[in-house]
């Protein structure tokens, strides 16, 4: 590294420093102008010890060579009354601050050689003069080293901040993707369940008309109730998409406590459901409770939509630290069509049916089993941790 691009305000500051230091150098030797011959050469070398500093950031090595050569030439010619060596010290500081290790070593060697050459010139026989020069350039070296280390620390902090910000962005993107997937699963479960019930009841109503108007009216009433429930749940889900200026009025998450309503709905649609609860029920974490509820809802919805059977069984088994949810379609009532609803969902899922349930179970740390039963039926079973 031999320098770096200077920003505009840095260039203006360096130009101001060079101009001010050149003026100070000239003023410091003017009282002795009668002893400086030729005067123009002395003044030229005095100015050359400061003016090149205007380019010290962009060309530190070249500036150091020019300023150092001007100072050594001034001393070697024997003009005397040399100005304070601020220009060479600043040039040396800049090389230590901005250049690589090789250039720093070369600069140290050239400074040592320059001091030695200058001290052999007439008028520099006093030992304190050499000590003074060594002290000035040692101070410049220490200052350049500290500035370099400080800039390195600043770059490291900026890099860490950039990496932290990028990681936060990645985390936010992952969280947004997970939230979109969660909302998609919830929307699918709500819409599929209620729309399936409405479709079944609509088909029943059309089959009952015009011969059984009372029964058809009950089916239409079920359609209306189911539609209102679907709208309420959709409003709850879509409420999370509102902006901060539109606070959503949210309802509690669905849970196993709402399971009787689901069973009543599917029973009203013509699917007889047996519910078995084994063990002593205990409180579940909200996410686990919702997952268990959705497993039952999705499995019964698929049975209602696709199966030829008119019966299903739901089992909730409470064990220490675990809940096992099982939904099965027995063989028999629907002949060889029994179990077709869960089986279709398992092998021809759109990605939001049992596949969505599999994602829910996996996110809870549970285990999902889907497959035929020994009695030639079909079942979905999930073992979920209680918390």
* Residue percentage of the chain with pLDDT more than 70: 76
For residue 277, what are its two tokens? 């609860």
Q: What is the pLDDT of residue 22?
A: 93
Q: What is the mean pLDDT of residues 298-308?
A: 74
- Residue at token pair 């939001």: 352
Q: Is 75 in contact with 49 (CB distance < 8 Å)?
A: no
SS3 317: strand
Domain map (residue ranges) of the chain: 8-125, 255-387
Q: What is the pLDDT of residue 56?
A: 92
Q: Which residues on adjacent β-strands are paired with residue 274?
A: 313
Q: Torsions phi, psi of 219, nearest 5?
A: -65, -40
Q: How far is CA 189 from CA 103, 144, 301, in A?
A: 70, 67, 9
Highest mean pLDDT among 57-61, 207-211, 244-248: 57-61
* Residue percentage of the chain with pLDDT more than 90: 29
Q: Is 321 in contact with 285 (CB distance < 8 Å)?
A: no
Question: pLDDT by residue (tens digit) across 7-66?
Answer: 778 889 999 999 999 999 999 999 988 888 899 999 999 999 999 999 999 999 999 999
In this predicted model, which residue has the larger pLDDT, 250 or 351? 250
Kindly give, in sequence order, each residue whose CB lies less than 8 Å from that of residue 372, ignoring residues fewer than 6 positions away.
Answer: 339, 343, 378, 379
Q: What is the pLDDT of residue 188?
A: 66
Length of the chain: 387
CA 295 from chain centre, in angstroms, equals 33
Over 70: is that where the pLDDT of 239 sits? Answer: no
CA 281, CA 262: separation in Å to the nearest integer? 19
Q: How many CB atoms lie within 10 A of CB 200?
A: 22
* DSSP state, residue 176: H
Is residue 65 exposed (0-12), middle (13-18) or buried (19+ Cβ within 10 Å)?
middle
Q: What is the pLDDT of residue 364?
A: 83
Give the least confident one: 292-296, 311-315, 317-321, 333-337. Answer: 333-337
CA 48, CA 70: separation in Å to the nearest integer? 6
Q: What is the mean pLDDT of residues 183-204?
A: 68
Over 90: is that where the pLDDT of 139 sits? Answer: yes
Q: What is the pLDDT of residue 106?
A: 93
* DSSP state, residue 379: E
CA 380, CA 342: separation in Å to the nearest integer? 8
Is residue 143 exposed (0-12), middle (13-18) or buried (19+ Cβ within 10 Å)?
middle
Q: What is the mean pLDDT of residues 131-149?
A: 91
Give the least confident one: 47-61, 107-121, 341-355. Answer: 341-355
Over 60: is that where the pLDDT of 247 sits? Answer: no
Q: What is the pLDDT of residue 336?
A: 44
For residue 262, what are its two tokens? 């689901």
CA 268, CA 243: separation in Å to the nearest integer? 38
Q: What is the pLDDT of residue 119?
A: 77
Q: What is the pLDDT of residue 47?
A: 94
* DSSP state, residue 131: H
Kindly give, in sequence order, each residue whose CB lies less than 8 Å from that of residue 228, ignoring residues fewer than 6 positions away.
Answer: none
Over 60: is that where the pLDDT of 172 sits? Answer: yes
Q: Torsions phi, psi of 367, nearest 5?
A: -135, 130
Q: What is the pLDDT of residue 138?
A: 93
Q: What is the pLDDT of residue 46?
A: 93
| Confidence class for position 190, pLDDT limits 50, 70, 90 | low
In this predicted model, which residue has the larger pLDDT, 364 or 180? 364
| Confidence class for position 79, pLDDT limits 50, 70, 90 | confident
Q: What is the pLDDT of residue 204?
A: 67
In this predicted model, which residue has the larger pLDDT, 121 or 25? 25
Q: Write out the E strands in the chain.
A: 272-278, 311-319, 322-329, 367-372, 378-385
Q: How far is CA 184 from CA 44, 189, 234, 242, 357, in A?
A: 80, 9, 11, 16, 12
Over 70: is that where the pLDDT of 161 sits? Answer: yes
Q: What is the pLDDT of residue 242?
A: 56
Q: How far is CA 347 from CA 93, 344, 351, 354, 370, in A?
A: 74, 5, 10, 9, 10
Q: Is 283 in contact with 322 (CB distance < 8 Å)?
A: no
Q: Which of 226, 221, 225 is nearest to 197 (CA)?
A: 226
For residue 240, what are its two tokens? 């999370």
| Confidence class for position 338, pLDDT limits 50, 70, 90 | very low
Determine the topology of domain 255-387 in CATH.
Heat Shock Protein 90 (3.30.565)
Q: How many CB atoms lie within 10 A of CB 299?
A: 29
Q: What is the pLDDT of residue 173?
A: 81
pLDDT mean across residues, the chain: 80
């Amino acid at each position: 590294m031999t320098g770096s691009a200077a920003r505009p305000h840095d260039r203006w500051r360096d130009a101001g420093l060079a101009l001010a230091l050149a003026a100070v150098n000239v003023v410091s030797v003017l009282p002795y102008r009668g002893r400086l011959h030729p005067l123009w050469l002395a003044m030229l070398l005095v100015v050359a010890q400061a003016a090149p500093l205007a380019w010290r950031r962009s060309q530190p090595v070249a500036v150091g060579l020019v300023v150092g050569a001007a100072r050594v030439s001034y001393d070697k010619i024997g003009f005397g009354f040399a100005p304070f060596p601020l220009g060479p010290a600043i040039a040396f500081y800049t090389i230590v601050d901005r250049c690589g290790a090789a250039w720093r070593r070369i600069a140290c060697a050239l400074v040592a050689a320059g001091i030695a050459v200058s001290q052999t010139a007439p008028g520099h026989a006093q030992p304190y003069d050499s000590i003074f020069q060594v002290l000035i350039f040692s101070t410049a070296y220490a200052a350049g080293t500290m500035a370099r280390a400080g800039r390195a620390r600043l770059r490291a902090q900026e890099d860490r901040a950039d990496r932290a910000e990028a990681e936060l962005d990645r985390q936010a993107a992952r969280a947004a993707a997970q939230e979109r997937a969660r909302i998609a699963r919830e929307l699918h479960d709500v819409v599929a369940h209620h729309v399936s019930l409405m479709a079944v009841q609509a088909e029943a109503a059309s089959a009952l008309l015009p011969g059984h108007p009372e029964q058809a009216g009950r089916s239409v009433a079920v359609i209306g109730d189911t539609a209102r429930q679907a709208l309420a749940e959709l409003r709850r889900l879509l409420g999370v998409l509102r902006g901060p200026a539109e606070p959503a009025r949210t309802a509690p998450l669905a849970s196993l406590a709402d399971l009787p309503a689901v069973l009543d709905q599917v029973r009203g649609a013509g699917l007889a459901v047996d519910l078995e609860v084994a063990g002593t029920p205990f409180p579940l974490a909200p996410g686990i409770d919702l997952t268990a509820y959705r497993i039952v809802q999705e499995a019964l919805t698929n049975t209602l939509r696709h199966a030829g059977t008119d019966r299903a069984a739901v089992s909730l088994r409470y064990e220490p630290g675990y809940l096992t949810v099982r939904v099965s379609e027995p063989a028999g009532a629907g002949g060889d069509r029994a179990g077709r609803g869960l089986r279709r969902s398992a092998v021809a899922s759109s990605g939001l049916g049992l596949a969505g349930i599999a994602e829910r179970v996996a996110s809870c740390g549970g285990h999902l089993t889907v497959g035929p039963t020994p009695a030639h039926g079909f079942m979905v079973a999930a073992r979920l941790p209680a918390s």
